[in-house]
Amino acid sequence: MQYVEFGKTGAKVSRLGMGCMRLPSHEADGKTVFDEDKGIALIHRAIELGVNYFDTAPYYCDRQSEIILGKALAGGRRDKVWVSTKNPIENDSGDDYQKRLENSLKNLQTDHIDFYHFWGVSLDAFLTKVKAKNGPFERAKKLKEQGMIRHISFSFHDRDAGAEEGNRLIEILKNGEGVLESVLAQYNLMDRNKEVGIALAHQMGLGTTVMGPVGGGRLGAPSKVIQDLLPGKVKSSADIALRFVLANPNVNIALSGVSTIAQLEENAAIAGNTGALSKDELNTIEVMMKENERLAGLYCTGCRYCMPCPREVNIPEIFTIMNYHRVYHLTDFAKKSYAEIGKVDWRKYENASKCVECGVCETKCPQSLPIRAQLKETHKVLTA
Ligand code: SF4
Ligand code: SF4
């Protein structure tokens, strides 16, 4: 395993971090049941492989993730690792913020959180809730003085896509300067619009962690298109994706949410091998990904001008899922994602079958896309 200074926090962290959002589970009576013993074994194996940064959150794995991580670290392992968890900023109350922290401490069987994140804040939430008078920001500073929080952090995934997303990350960094010590943001081969913000965070001395280095599982699925970026030189899509992220000197930790020991060992082997991509290899990837993005853009640019839809069909999200199939040939992932629509928190919208063909969206699309026809095609292909 390779280790790196985590910004100016004083922590020396493994370049591979374990995301505890996909702990082992099975289906029983139509419900997902998390396998505590397997989860604990997976975390123990990660520690054996040299991983020393573990990221969780109160709602991960049906609220079991913090508890399983706590059990795995009890009995002598807690002080060997850095624990990261998150506070959902549901309101601007400092008291509520503290209550949620205390609950996480209980779940994790610890008296302090090493990296405590304002969870998934948008710029608006950061300014109006986190930084409200006597709100979470002020309380976090007090709790840090008391030792319950070691480092104040934030995670960012502003939902609106596009160039502005990166700029909003920069605004949060500026508004939290001197207090925020690390950032967690999405970054991978197919989602690079926070690259500039991550570089600025690194320059400001924050520790930088990226989530979804293998595209939240997208790039873990075999894809000839992705592997053909460097023909013959990479073993799998996950290999190229993880090496791409780790080749960025502004990224300290790549978090990977694994479910099996085999995935964990594969990722640890990649992170332990210095085989970062060369400049030429990065250039080749850059050119080919741009071309793929251009192809994706021919279908839908994700501008969201077509929204809202009166039937709550999230057109750009559905077309993004379709593009994983159409452009990157990640068909299994696309089908799985499509099936999640309406069933998981991060896909709370309707699928294409709810479109009543009113045509309102098409009058607003600058690409003049035949949205109704494409939605029909998407539903047909991704439910086949
Ligand atoms: S045509 Fe379909 S997707 Fe477009 S606005 Fe109407 S219901 Fe929504
Ligand atoms: S307006 Fe057109 S290009 Fe923009 S997100 Fe909607 S469908 Fe895609």
CA-based end-to-end distance of the chain: 42
pLDDT digits 0-9 by tens, 16-40: 999 998 899 888 887 888 999 999 9
- Does 352 contact ligand 1 (Cβ within 6 A)? no
Q: At a CB cut-off of 8 Å and minimum separation 6, what does 185 contact?
A: 155, 156, 157, 169, 194, 197, 198, 208, 209, 210, 211
- Does 251 contact ligand 1 (Cβ within 6 A)? no
CA distances (Å), origin 4, targets 53, 151, 254: 12, 17, 12
The segment with the largest mean pLDDT, out of 51-65, 216-230, 355-369, is 51-65
**The pTM is what?**
0.78
Cα 364 to ligand 2 centroid, rounded to whole Å: 8
The span from the CA of 60 to the CA of 289, in Å, is 31
What's the number of CA atoms in the CB half-sphere (13 Å) around residue 103? 14
Give the mean model confidence (pLDDT) for residues 35-58. Answer: 96
Report the pLDDT value the prediction gives residue 165, as an integer from 0 to 100.
Answer: 54
CA-nearest residue, atom 7 of ligand 2: 300
Give the mean model confidence (pLDDT) for residues 351-380. Answer: 92
Report the pLDDT value the prediction gives residue 150, as an integer from 0 to 100.
Answer: 98
Q: Count of residues for the chain?
A: 384
- Does 357 contact ligand 1 (Cβ within 6 A)? yes
CA-nearest residue, atom 4 of ligand 2: 303
* In 220-363, alpha helices (H): 224-227, 237-246, 261-272, 279-299, 315-326, 331-340
Report the pLDDT value the prediction gives residue 296, as an integer from 0 to 100.
Answer: 65
DSSP 158-192: -SS-SHHHHHHHHHHHHHTTTT--EEEEE-BTTB-
Closest atom of ligand 2 to CA, residue 374: 7
CA-nearest residue, atom 8 of ligand 1: 309
- Does 369 contact ligand 1 (Cβ within 6 A)? no
Report the pLDDT value the prediction gives residue 95, as an integer from 0 to 100.
Answer: 96
The span from the CA of 97 to the CA of 154, in Å, is 14
The total of other beta-carbon atoms located within 10 Å of residue 342's CB is 13
Cα 332 to ligand 1 centroid, rounded to whole Å: 26
